[in-house]
Structure 1
Amino acid sequence: MRHANLAGAAVASLLLAGVGQAQAQERQDVEMNLVDTDGVQESIGSISYEDTDHGLLLTPDLSELPPGVYGFHLHQNASCEPGEDDSGDTQAAGEAGGHHDPDDAGSHEGPYGEGHLGDLPVLIVNEDGKATLPVLAPRLSAEDLEGRSLMIHEGGDTYTDEPKLGGGGSRMACGVIES
């Protein structure tokens, strides 16, 4: 974990240097809430986003999460309500739909690959249960987020189709981006 923290600090420094070159787009916040099959639960903080010359910068200010690395995605619909999955079972934040894939790429290749646009860099939660390390999505802009939702999954992300959806697993937290 120490290496992840050092690497994360180096990435954060580079990202924050790019913020000074941000475009005219103002910073916006999305409230993030825990989700389960009963619905939207308590707030765990927010994620701010803004356009930069290098893509979309997302800066989490989240707390009370288990330490680890989590899959982070942009989902198609602006909802965090439960919904049915393909098998008819209730799924936490199921109404958010699948990962944002406007070009029907149909593959998970990560934020730097040529797959769908919903793959964001993973979120890192430190030993204190906080996620504050900024991440950069180079193929997205703030405009792409309008009318969608941000999702944090219970597992990590391999940025591949195997295991299913990159191994992210169940939906843990969600935030709606209004248009």
Structure 2
Amino acid sequence: MLRLTGLVLALTVPLAAARAAPASVTMNAITAEGVGAEIGTVTLEDTADGLRLTPNLRSLPAGERGFHVHVNPACGPADNNGKPAAGFAAGGHYDPAGSGKHEGPHGNGHAGDLPALTVAADGTATNPVVAHRLTVKDVAGRALMIHADGDNYADQPQPLGGGGGRIACGVITG
């Protein structure tokens, strides 16, 4: 038995890093002609495990879709090899370390590589994903992009994981 008399012990507990307020991103369908109809929202929230992205989306093709944070806060078309391409105004994947590598959400490459977005047979996506290396503050002022195909998080057999064209986008404010 330990008895302490007349002694005050002060314990210091490190405070968790300040978390930013959650953000809601309006997502729109996109084409080479421009930004189209709203398809829902994605809520971004800092958690102890990283950035949680909770989609509430509709009107998407069923299956796994590539899901990324892109550099520029824009969703319009831009030039891709001499032709307008959907969402190219958003630029490339967010890569603050300049890694130039596409290694997925748990690798050491692009920080903007998110876990795949799963779309149900009815075209809705509601399952949250967590990006362990990101916070709301990191992604504010960037674009959130959904690609036409899945993502294998490698540059083979196709560059940037084979995610294909850009089909939906939203600008992250906050």
Scaled by the length of structure 2, the TM-score of the pair is 0.87
SS at match of 1:100: coil
Q: 2:140 aligns with which of 137, 146, 149?
A: 146
Give the Cα separation in 2 of the matches to 1:121 and 1:114.
Answer: 14
What is the CA distance between 1:126 and its match in structure 2? Answer: 0.6
SS at match of 2:138: helix
Higher helix content, 1 or 2: 1
Give the Cα separation in 2 of the matches to 1:161 and 1:140.
Answer: 22
Give the Cα separation in 2 of the matches to 1:79 and 1:69.
Answer: 24
What is the CA distance between 1:26 and its match in structure 2? Answer: 2.5
Give the corresponding residue for 1:43.
Answer: 38
Rg larger in structure: 2
The one-letter code matched in structure 2 to 1:81 is G
After TM superposition, the structure 1 = structure 2 runs for residues 19-98 of structure 1, keeping only pairs within 5 Å, are 24-85=19-80, 87-98=81-92
Give the corresponding residue for 2:116.
Answer: 122
Give the % identical residues.
Answer: 51
What is the CA distance between 1:24 and its match in structure 2? Answer: 4.2
Classify 1:43/1:127 alpha carbon distance in 2 versus 1 (closer, same or farther; 3 Å): same
Q: String of CA shifts for 1:121-159, please: whole Å, max 9, x gaps.
A: 000001121100000000000011111000000000000
What is the CA distance between 1:65 and its match in structure 2? Answer: 1.4
SS at match of 2:46: strand
Give the Cα separation in 2 of the matches to 1:109 and 1:28.
Answer: 26
What is the CA distance between 1:22 and its match in structure 2? Answer: 10
Q: Which runs of 4+ in 1 moved over 6 A?
A: none
Q: How many residues align structurally?
A: 158
CA RMSD for the aligned pairs?
Answer: 1.5
Give the corresponding residue for 1:16.
Answer: none
2:151 matches 1:157? yes
Q: String of CA shifts for 1:16-74, please: whole Å, max 9, x gaps.
A: xxxxx996433210000000011000000000001001100000000121211000000
Give the Cα separation in 2 of the matches to 1:139 and 1:35.
Answer: 27
Give the corresponding residue for 2:10.
Answer: none
The one-letter code matched in structure 2 to 1:170 is G
The one-letter code matched in structure 1 to 2:40 is G
Classify 1:24/1:146 alpha carbon distance in 2 versus 1 (closer, same or farther; 3 Å): closer
Scaled by the length of structure 1, the TM-score of the pair is 0.85
SS at match of 1:57: strand
